[in-house]
Structure 1
Amino acid sequence: MLRRSVLTLPALLPALASAQTPEPGTAARPLRVGVTQGVHAQVFEKVQTVLARDGFVTRAVEFGDFIQPNAALAAGDLDANAYQHLPFLEAQRAQRGYDFVPVGRTVLTLMGVFSRRLRSLDALPQGARIAIPNDPTNGGRALLLLAENGAFRLRPGVDHRATVADIADNPKRIRIVELEAASIVRALDDVDAAAITGNFAVPAGLNPLRDALARETEQSVYTVLVVVRRADADRPWARRLAGGYAHPEVKDFVVTTFGGAVIPGA
């Protein structure tokens, strides 16, 4: 006796929904990628051009801060974002519970210390005011850079998670001004110096290689990542997006466009 399998409507709904939902990366459903304004938006525009040749359709969603791209990814308003390095991602996962993972690498934007008033950090006056990013990882990154170049001394053993409280010896009584990273360039005239990441410095005409009083070396821990929700990490579109950043044409674009201030990371 033959048995017939009967699928009820509730059992059919997931399959029907899947069939009706276009795959990300198509004209009917462009892949939504969050980037911050400036360098990351500019690099992604080149990635879009390369991917489009194979019919892979993407849409950039630009943000002016570091918090909203992850909030939008968690909410499902983005499929991926490409603006944060691993220390920042780890901090966001710990603080906000995001279940995100990296699937590729994009570029390294060097942080530099810039000044409208000084020609060297040795010339910092007593009570000098130095602006740094107010997000925990880039703030610690700035403090390390300043300490490595003699502005003050940090407690032994601290890393990119350093805070102002970790300043152990400050003979010039330097005052640290913590600001949103995107606003520091605009505040440069109001402080003695400022630590600015390359993604904000370069669009403002500041080249870390040429204009900075001090700058980072090529530390891979700060290379920006392509980030997705964990459930999407093995999706074909995630691999294609990451592969776009690794394309030789994109790497050549980064090298020729930014003159060494931004370094290909893929």
Structure 2
Amino acid sequence: MKKIITVIISVFLIFGLVGCGNSKEASKNQDKKTIVVGATPVPHAEILEKIKPILEKKGYKLEIKIFNDYVIPNTALNDGELDANFFQHIPYLNKFNSEKGTKLDYTVKVHLEPMGLYSNKIKKIDQFKNNVSIAIPKDPTNGSRALRLLENEGLIKLKKGELVTKFDIIENKLNLKIQELDAPQLPRALNDVDAAVINTNYALQANLNPTKDAIAIESKDSPYANILVVKKENKDKSYIKVLSEALNSKEIKEFIKEKYKGSIIPAF
């Protein structure tokens, strides 16, 4: 009987220790103190650098991992290598989730990067002539966004729809040659094409200012605000809430306004 009682007590102790361990692990995951965020260099990493002091005051450390493409930051987040990422807008996130079967979600909108049309050869829209070559981003959402910008400037006409491609052009009087390239390559392509529609983060890296250097620029009421993205099950965790609040703070709003002079604007 004593042996049986001893065994029972041992089992309870083991399960109690396991439960305690699981509780500690759950608490650790709920409120981890080092937050790892993936971001493209400009302006996302720059903005993240500015929230480090805000997070430190609340007991958190921020680790920023730099990426130069639009796919790996999402796969790394989905695989648990990141706690969050900051580089994309809502239409791109929705498209990625649909195609990859991921369950990523966003917490806050941070800023808008108006997409611009740039050229080393052409200064004004009315200078576009027959057979001009224009490079646009290769990914579906930014490619669609670029084509809408060209349409708004009267260079082409497109079918209706949320996402369009160059095959949805229904009027192209100038016979414009639309080339699709990976977004990071677009600034370098300006020497090889007549013009290019470039995302602001890559334009800034190439010392191109949308408000000064772009022939045409996206409207400020564009729906393509950049967002903080996390795994859906982590949205309500304490460290994500603190991170989201820091990115939507008064300090960051003022930083965006002063640093980027209208080339990037707050979305909160």
1:219 is displaced (CA, Å) by 2.9
SS of equivalent residue, structure 1 residue 140: helix
Aligned ranges for residues 82-231 of structure 1 at < 5 Å? 82-155=86-159, 157-159=160-162, 161-231=163-233
1:158 is displaced (CA, Å) by 2.5
SS of equivalent residue, structure 2 residue 149: helix
Structure 2 equivalent of residue 234 of structure 1: 236
SS of equivalent residue, structure 1 residue 113: strand
Pairwise CA RMSD of aligned residues?
Answer: 2.1
Q: Which runs of 5+ in 2 are unaligned?
A: 1-7
| Residue pair 2:118, 2:215 contacting (<8 A) in 1 also | yes
| % identity of equivalent residues | 34
**Aligned counterpart in structure 1 of residue 259 of structure 2, from 254, 257, 260:** 257
Task: Give a deviation string over 1:85-110, Cα, whole Å, max 9, x none.
Answer: 00000000100011011111111111
Equivalents in 2 of 1:114, 1:188: separation in Å? 8
SS of equivalent residue, structure 1 residue 144: helix
1:6 is displaced (CA, Å) by 5.3
| Residue pair 2:136, 2:186 contacting (<8 A) in 1 also | yes
Equivalents in 1 of 2:135, 2:258: separation in Å? 30
Equivalents in 2 of 1:92, 1:51: separation in Å? 29
| Residue pair 2:107, 2:229 contacting (<8 A) in 1 also | yes
| Residue pair 1:207, 1:261 contacting (<8 A) in 2 also | yes
Output the TM-score relative to the length of structure 2.
0.90
1:248 is displaced (CA, Å) by 0.9
Counterpart AA for 2:161: V
1:19 is displaced (CA, Å) by 1.9
Equivalents in 2 of 1:82, 1:147: separation in Å? 29
1:13 is displaced (CA, Å) by 3.8
Structure 1 equivalent of residue 24 of structure 2: 19
Counterpart AA for 1:62: I
1:37 aligns with 2:41: yes
Aligned residues: 260
Over 3 Å off, 4+ runs: 3-15, 20-26
Equivalents in 2 of 1:192, 1:60: separation in Å? 36
In structure 2, relative to structure 1, the CA distance for the partners of 1:15 and 1:176 (3 Å cut) is farther
Equivalents in 2 of 1:41, 1:179: separation in Å? 23
Task: Give a deviation string over 1:60-101, Cα, whole Å, max 9, x none.
Answer: 011010000000001100011111100000000100011011
Equivalents in 2 of 1:182, 1:25: separation in Å? 35
Equivalents in 2 of 1:240, 1:132: separation in Å? 36
1:247 is displaced (CA, Å) by 1.0
Equivalents in 2 of 1:63, 1:213: separation in Å? 28
Larger radius of gyration: 2
Q: Which runs of 5+ in 1 are unaligned?
A: none
